[in-house]
């Protein structure tokens, strides 16, 4: 993603903020949409488009869980493990998915297809145990079999045009 593209994306919203610093997070989210994470080149592009230093942009990005500074899989499987989900079996779901993907806990599959991670409460405790693919709809309550089906379906989908994470 180039600085020009980011600038073009930001242009219509610039007037909404009294300080251009506010554009950093929208810019980061937008830049992340391209590859699903923020490679150094995207980070520099965000810095250039917003007028702040790379160090500053990196420091902002690294604060937020959903800005990825390292590569992740084509799909990120976020398994909520906070209290309500735990009480309803999120640890078991997590272990099951890890098993199914051949992962030893959190991590990315060898084919780069999936990144599995534990996340904190995603505001869907009524659907516990629940899972969120990227920042899509929170799905649940999940049984191990549901999780496996979901993963199989995802595997057949092409890579998204833009990543929403």
Which listed range, 2-10, 97-105, 107-115, 134-142, lies at the site for other proteins (CB under 8 A)? 134-142
DSSP H helices, 36-140, are 40-50, 54-61, 83-87, 90-101
With CB under 8 A as the contact rule, the residue among 137, 149, 152, 155 that binds other proteins is 137
Distance CA 26, CA 32 (A): 10
Shortest Cβ 42–other proteins spacing (Å): 12
| SS3 label, residue 165 | coil
Size of the site for other proteins (CB under 8 A): 66
Burial of 95 (0-12, 13-18, 19+ CB in 10 A): middle
CB of 57 to other proteins, least distance (A): 8
Cβ proximity to other proteins, 11 vs 111, nearer residue: 11
Neighbours of 130 (CB within 10 A): 25
Residue ranges in 49-88 that form contacts with other proteins under rule CB under 8 A: 50, 52-60, 62-67, 78, 81-84, 86-88
Least Cβ distance, residue 11 to other proteins (angstroms): 15
- For residue 73 the two structure tokens come to 């899989």
Task: Find all residues with CB under 8 Å of 34, minimum gap 6, and list them.
Answer: 1, 42, 162, 163
Residue 159 to residue 85: CA distance in whole angstroms: 29
The nearest distance, CB 74 to other proteins, in angstroms, is: 17
- The answer to whether 152 contacts other proteins (rule: CB under 8 A) is no
The answer to whether residues 78 and 68 touch, using CB atoms and an 8 Å cutoff, is no
Whichever of 8 and 126 has its CB closer to other proteins, that residue is: 126
State the nearest-atom distance from the C-beta of 44 to other proteins, in Å: 8
Give the binding site for other proteins (CB under 8 A).
Answer: 13, 16-26, 28-29, 40, 43, 47, 50, 52-60, 62-67, 78, 81-84, 86-92, 119-129, 132, 134-138, 141, 143, 164-165
């Amino acid at each position: 993603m180039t600085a020009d593209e980011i600038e073009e994306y930001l242009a219509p919203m610039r007037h909404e903020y009294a300080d251009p610093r506010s554009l950093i997070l929208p810019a980061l989210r937008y830049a992340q949409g391209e590859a699903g994470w923020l490679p150094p080149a995207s980070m520099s592009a965000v810095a250039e488009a917003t007028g702040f230093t790379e160090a500053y942009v990196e420091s902002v990005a690294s604060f937020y869980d959903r800005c990825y500074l390292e590569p992740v899989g084509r799909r990120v499987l976020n398994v909520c493990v906070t209290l309500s989900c735990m009480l309803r079996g999120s640890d078991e779901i997590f272990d099951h998915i890890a098993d199914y993907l051949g992962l030893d806990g959190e991590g990315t599959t060898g084919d780069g297809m999936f990144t599995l991670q534990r996340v904190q409460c995603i505001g869907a405790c009524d659907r516990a145990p629940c899972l969120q693919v990227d920042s899509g709809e929170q799905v649940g309550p999940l049984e191990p079999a549901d999780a496996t089906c979901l993963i199989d379906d995802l595997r057949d989908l092409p890579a998204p045009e833009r990543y929403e994470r």
